A = this chain, B = another copy of it.
Amino acid sequence: MKQSALFPKTNKNAPKDEISTNAQLLVRAGFINKLMAGVYTYLPLGLRVLKKIENIIREEINAIGGQEIYMPALHPHENYVTTGREKIDILFHLESATGKKYVLGQSHEEIVVPLVKQYINSYKDLPIYLYQIQTKFRNELRAKSGILRGREFMMKDLYSFHKSEEDFQDYYEKSKVAYRNIFNRIGIGELTYLTFASGGTFSKYSHEFQTVTPSGEDIIYLCLKCEVAVNKEIIGEQNSCPECNAKNLVEKKSIEVGNIFPLKTKFSKAFDLMYTDEKGVRKEIVMGCYGIGLGRALGTVVEINNDANGIIWPKEIAPFDVHLISINNDEQGDAIYASLQKNGLEVLYDDRKETAGSKLKDADLIGIPVRVVVSKKTGENVEVKIRKTGETKICKLNEAIETIKGTNV
């Protein structure tokens, strides 16, 4: 798209009320806008990235049999009484015009279990894997980490329903692979570790995916050999690597970008969710739940992919494939814009009447992986710059296109 039409312009100055790197950069570069603490608008650039993350998650969850649904955010309060979660402090409470008590969904066990109960009866109906990509509301007391911890945020939540603990365990392992794929594709795989965490009162462990960065709010103890970690919350009980038993774990700050949780029969019991097995015996359904916060994933990408000049987007979730910049050469710029699009590339074309310096600075801030500059100086060629490495070259357009398509940054 043409940058002259893009809403909004970038802000040169860092916002005063943001202390986190992700929010500072994303606000300055025009990806998000803060409405109030923990509540943000996604602007066109930010929404493009969010949608790419969403589609990667959708593809990987579909690949492990997930069926997408869309549940409401308004929940009947009585369902939380049933599960004993009506007093959780992050619940938002409200009331309908007819006097019915609602809460806003902070998670969806209280909705998906009664839903499944209406349709599942026999072992033949199992297993089933339902997920959604939907807005969650959490009445957080502190919301200071930009889009890492929001009062309102987009989440992928998957719920699995099984005949047995063994069947659940099989799927739980598959979910780890799907999560690994997702974090690799969005560009945080190398710094993201499977982390053993509390399983609540009913499971020994749950598992988190923790991305190591100094800006993280969590603390994990990492086994460098096995590349797994233990969350600080359980280091008292589990003070060695759960895989090799080594004691030399390294303390790291990290961000929890995903969580998978064996629910056992906690929610099935609450709602009496049963099935009839092959012998006609009624049994409780075994459940798991699997979450990824999309905004938090996006914020984490920015926390670990930036430099003094701005954001450095990983290729697969960049808002555009290439940032084309015309410096006083709109005729050639327009022609190249058309060519790049004809080659199936998503192009942000800086056709604004700004100085060269301002355009190049904005390009660094926005952080699209490859920059292509045309000016009077470049003649028949273009100048290509890789955002991540800073590497530049002057070449023919065809070679530039190959670079854009092939660049693994």
Contacts and interface: CB of A to CB of B under 8 A. Distances in A.
A320 B141 CA distance: 45
A56 interface: no
A41 B111 contact: yes
A72 interface: yes
Interface in A157-179: none
A46 B141 CA distance: 36
B72 A41 contact: yes
Nearest to A128: B7
Interface stretch (A88-96, A205-213, A237-245, A367-375): A88-96
B50 A70 contact: yes
A200 interface: no
How often does this chain occur in the complex, in copies?
2
A7 B119 contact: yes
A96 B35 CA distance: 14
A335 to B, nearest CB: 23
Interface stretch (A97-105, A377-385, A400-408): A97-105
Interface residues of A, number: 53
Interface string A130-172: 1000010101110000000001100000000000000000000
A50 B50 CA distance: 20
Interface string A72-92: 111110000000000001101
A111 B35 CA distance: 8
Contacts of A98: 37, 141
A47 B58 CA distance: 13
A333 B89 CA distance: 53
Contact of A6 (B67, B115, B118, B141): B67
Given A92-B94, A96-B151, 6 more contacts: A7-B128, A8-B118, A41-B71, A42-B69, A89-B97, A94-B94
